[in-house]
């Protein structure tokens, strides 16, 4: 109730027509990380303590019944740096936009347009440390051409077909969507396909992305299959990702797999562990890496929890996978051959 009152007050302040249903939501997440293993990278000291913003965000979402079975909907979501109170990386509100879109839904499914998920479509299919140190996206999304989200995308999501649901998204001009500008020489489009299944304790996703930054370079093609199985007292997860033409370099291919699980020690306590392994880039030796993360979560309430997590990465001589980064933030990526480690204590409040 309080969220809707706030939303209606905002609407009245700007003299807009009535919002049929608007919700204010988000997450306040702050962690203290103690990092080691990569003492100095490009002049940046990565050892020592740092406050990291986790996956903090604030969002507004709403819908309006248009009649005839149609619903208009929107979402505006922005990352927030809890340590400074600003948008992530010091940007203004919504300058660090997360999934933000407008669309129409009905019996046919939903059509959305705006800033939509890219790597995030698959990076969380079996991720037991999303937004924390050891976030699986540091491995499964490393080297892709787009990042976690892409601008100016158009997507169609099917209605639920039994236990299945499908998604197809198209980006007319990927360079412009990634902030690289548009010219005749580099204009190129990208697309992604996804199918998901949710039933009988299984949540699984199958994704394919074809990402093109220029019309003359090979496209980055990413295939992912992953999911979790709910055992009641805990969950197990498994994911496989095949990444072709990493960095838009023809033949630079890599496979990554991950295995994880969680167990409810009590109604309030959960322990989790996750292991990831990235193979060598084709034709390039010493580019593989392995990562291990363990953690403990304690729920203070339905919306607030505290946690401790420890992540360690072992990089080969020419690899630079991170123990922090992706949705968590933290220190800069390590130099090649460093083995970063991070111990993190954090608090998460969902609203």
Ramachandran assignment for 42, one of left (phi > 0), alpha (psi -120 to 50 degrees), beta (any other): left
pLDDT number for residue 145: 75
115's tokens: 């800033």
Give the model's confidence band at 1: pLDDT under 50 very low, under 70 low, under 90 confident, else very high.
very low
Give residue 40's pLDDT band: very low, low, confident or very high (50, 70, 90). Answer: low
Indicate the pLDDT class of residue 10, thresholds 50, 70 and 90.
very low
Residue range 128-160, pLDDT digits in tens: 999 999 999 999 998 777 778 888 899 999 999
- Report the pLDDT value the prediction gives residue 27, as an integer from 0 to 100: 95
pLDDT in tens, 242-298: 999 998 899 999 999 999 999 999 999 999 999 999 999 998 999 999 999 999 999
Predicted pLDDT at 19: 47
Segment 223-231 long-range contacts (CB within 8 Å, at least 24 positions apart) = 224/122, 224/125, 224/140, 226/122, 226/125, 226/126, 226/258, 227/125, 227/126, 227/197, 227/202, 227/203, 228/125, 228/126, 228/202, 228/203, 228/204, 229/201, 229/202, 230/201, 230/202, 230/203, 231/201
Residue 80 banded pLDDT, cuts 50, 70, 90: confident
Q: CA-CA distance, 138 to 174, in Å (whole number)?
A: 22
Is 2-350 CATH 3.30.70.100?
Answer: no
Q: Between 80 and 285, where is the model more confident?
A: 285
Return the closest-CA partner of residue 220 out of 318, 141, 125. Answer: 141
pLDDT 10s digits, 214-224: 888 889 999 99
For residue 44, what pLDDT is reported?
57
Q: How far apart are the first and last CA of the chain?
A: 12
Q: Report pTM.
A: 0.88
Q: Identify the pLDDT of residue 2.
A: 47
Q: Copy the structure tokens of residue 282.
A: 């084709």
Domain boundary assignment for the chain = 2-350
Contact 245, 253 (CB under 8 A): yes
pLDDT(73) > 50: yes
Report the C-alpha gap between 38 and 93 in whole angstroms: 33
Distance between CA atoms of residues 41 and 153, nearest Å: 35
Residue 125 burial class via C-beta count within 10 angstroms: exposed 0-12, middle 13-18, buried 19 and up:
buried
Which helix (H) or strand (E) segment holds residue 167: the answer is: strand 164-171
Mean pLDDT of the chain: 87
> Average pLDDT of 55-66?
94
* Residue 344 predicted with pLDDT over 80: yes
Asked whether residue 320 carries a pLDDT value surpassing 80, the answer given is yes
Sorted by sequence, the CB contacts under 8 Å of residue 189 that are 6+ apart come out as: 170, 171, 172, 173, 174, 212
> Any idea which residue has 């440390």 for tokens?
129
Report the chain's C-alpha Rg in angstroms.
21
Please list, in sequence order, all residues whose beta carbon lies within 8 angstroms of the beta carbon of residue 324, skipping any fewer than 6 positions away.
33, 35, 52, 133, 135, 138, 311, 330, 331, 340, 342
Helix/strand/coil for 303: coil
pLDDT at 15 over 50: no
Report the percentage of the chain scoring pLDDT > 70. 87
């Amino acid at each position: 109730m309080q969220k809707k009152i706030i939303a209606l007050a905002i609407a009245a302040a700007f003299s807009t027509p009535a919002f049929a249903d608007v919700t204010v939501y988000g997450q306040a997440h702050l962690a203290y990380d103690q990092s080691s293993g990569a003492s100095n990278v490009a002049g940046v000291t990565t050892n020592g303590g740092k406050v990291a913003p986790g996956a903090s965000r604030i969002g507004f979402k709403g819908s309006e019944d248009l009649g005839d079975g149609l619903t208009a909907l929107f979402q505006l979501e922005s990352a927030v740096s809890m340590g400074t109170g600003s948008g992530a990386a010091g940007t203004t509100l919504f300058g660090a936009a997360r999934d933000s879109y407008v669309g129409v839904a009905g019996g046919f499914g939903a059509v959305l347009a705006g800033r939509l998920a890219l790597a995030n479509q698959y990076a969380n299919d079996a991720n037991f440390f999303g937004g924390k140190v050891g976030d699986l996206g540091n491995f499964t999304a490393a080297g892709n051409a787009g990042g976690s989200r892409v601008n100016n995308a158009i997507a169609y999501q099917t209605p639920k077909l039994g236990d299945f649901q499908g998604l197809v998204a198209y980006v007319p001009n990927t360079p412009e969507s990634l902030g690289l500008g548009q010219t005749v020489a580099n204009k190129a489009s990208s697309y992604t396909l996804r199918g998901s299944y949710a039933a009988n304790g299984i949540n699984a996703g199958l994704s394919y992305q074809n990402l093109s930054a220029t019309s003359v370079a090979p496209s980055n093609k990413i295939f992912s299959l992953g999911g979790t199985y709910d055992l009641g007292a805990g969950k197990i997860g498994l994911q496989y990702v095949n990444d072709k033409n990493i960095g838009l370099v023809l033949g630079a291919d890599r496979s990554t797999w991950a295995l994880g699980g969680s167990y409810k020690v009590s109604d309030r306590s959960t322990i989790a562990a996750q292991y990831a392994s990235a193979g060598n880039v084709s034709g390039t030796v010493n580019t593989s890496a392995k990562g291990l993360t363990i953690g403990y979560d304690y729920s203070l309430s339905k919306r607030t929890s505290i946690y401790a997590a420890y992540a360690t990465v072992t990089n080969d001589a020419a690899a630079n996978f991170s123990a922090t980064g992706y949705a968590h933030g933290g220190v800069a990526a390590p130099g090649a051959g460093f083995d970063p480690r991070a111990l993190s204590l954090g608090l998460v409040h969902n609203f």
